[in-house]
A = this chain, B = another copy of it.
Amino acid sequence: MHKLIVQKYGGTSVANPDRIKKVAERIVSYKRKGFDLVVVVSALGDTTDELLELAAQVNDEPSEREMDMLLSTGEQISVALLAMAIHKLGVEAISFTGAQVGIITDSRHTKARIMRINSDRILEQLKRGKVVIVAGFQGVTLNQDITTLGRGGSDLTAVALAKTLDAKMCEIYTDVEGIFTTDPRLERKARKIPRLSYDEMLEMASLGAQVMQARSIELAKKFNVPMHVRSSFNMKKGTLISKEAEMLESVLIRAVTLNKSEAKITICNVPDRPGVAAKIFKEIARGGINVDMIVQNVSHTRQTDISFTVPKSDLSKAINLTRKMAKRIGAGDVLKDQDIARISIVGVGMKSHTGVAAKMFEALADEGINIEMISTSEISISCIIKKRLAKKAVKTLHEKFGLGK
């Protein structure tokens, strides 16, 4: 439907009644321009935290099914209030829970995956000229149990609806104006990026840019849903995310990202035998811990060091598992380091250019910043450095790759 736009408003965009009214005004202005609108809303600002706090007071390990029952009320409140605010402006609107519009998921509570969407009810209401408002972040199992989709779930709802309804655009409204060349809080010269490919956005999301979660971008990429990440506080254009072929300009490096939420674990003197690394990481995966970078040095002796990073929140659990495994495989000490940062450069352009890595390493070296680990993908290069040097590193690379211009 080429008059159809899916808009998603995050928690800060609907933090209180005044902001909800502003969002209603924006929606009505689009409606009056002739667009059909499906609007996905997150829970009001602090609602989710308040609900989590209530749960923590009655049970420190609440059942995931009941957590979903509890948390899904947050979005239900938002959609009802937004519908009321739109009505007040004289425009017809109707709100739905995830269950009511048939967002069918599997039964993995708190991190469910969307299986399909029955769009009949939405299409029926669009046909009647109504703005359709859908609770983000939630779905329902075939057994009618309420589920939630995990972090970034509302974005996922929006992209899935845009795909199912064949929308012209999926607009993601947030509290920043788009995706920036680096975090503007670290570098004043950071600029908004007008266009990004899905792959670049994915890489940036996984490397620490917190505006978007990887899951929804993956879905958008899979079904080629164009996304527009923009601010709900003004009318400026934000960042358009679409497939690479549509990029007008070819830029070498898009952005510098920084991630300070990980810690490094090093296992010393690992026997250099086939299958040893597999054993270690299988055990850590079993503990439900996501390992990020893994670096193993080429071995000249019969022993090697293996370093990897994990989210800080999982560090103590990961350390315990690693120590257990180190003993079992006959490795040496297990060391940890929390004072690290991962700094990365991202850009599809680097695929066809040589010397990008060298330029990065040189820039860091010139500032006296030591590199502890290096990891590369097709469109990114990451270095682990000391955390206290992170800001300096961001400024240096932002300058060196000409992102401030």
Q: Measuring CB to CB, which residues of chain A are less than 8 angstroms from any residue of chain B?
A: 17-18, 20-21, 24, 51, 54-55, 57-60, 62-63, 65-67, 69-70, 72-73, 76-77, 79-85, 87-88, 94-95, 97, 99-100, 121, 144-146
Contacts and interface: CB of A to CB of B under 8 A. Distances in A.
A60 to B, nearest CB: 8
Contact of A94 (B18, B65, B76): B65
Contacts of A84: 55, 58-59, 62-63, 66, 70
A121 B82 CA distance: 33
Contacts of A18: 57
A17 B63 CA distance: 16
Given A17-B54, A20-B58, A58-B17, A80 B70 contact: yes
A54 B81 contact: yes
Contact of A69 (B69, B72, B95, B146): B95
Nearest to A24: B58
B58 A85 contact: yes
Contacts of A58: 17, 20-21, 24, 81-82, 84-85, 88
Contacts of A17: 54, 57-58
Copies of this chain present: 2
Given A73-B73, A100-B144, A81 B55 contact: yes
Contact of A88 (B54, B59, B88, B99): B59
Given A21-B58, A54-B81, A81-B58, A87 B70 contact: no
Contacts of A57: 17-18
The 10 A-B pairs at the shortest CB distance, nearest first, are namely: A17-B57, A70-B80, A73-B73, A69-B80, A59-B84, A58-B85, A59-B88, A62-B84, A66-B80, A66-B83
Contacts of A62: 84, 87
A288 B121 CA distance: 33
9 contacts: A18-B57, A51-B77, A55-B84, A63-B83, A66-B84, A69-B83, A69-B95, A70-B77, A97-B146
Contacts of A87: 59, 62-63, 66
A9 to B, nearest CB: 14
A80 to B, nearest CB: 4
B81 A70 contact: yes
A66 B88 contact: no
A94 to B, nearest CB: 7
A24 B66 CA distance: 15
Nearest to A44: B54
A136 to B, nearest CB: 15
Contacts of A76: 69-70, 72-73, 76
Nearest to A135: B69
A100 B143 CA distance: 9
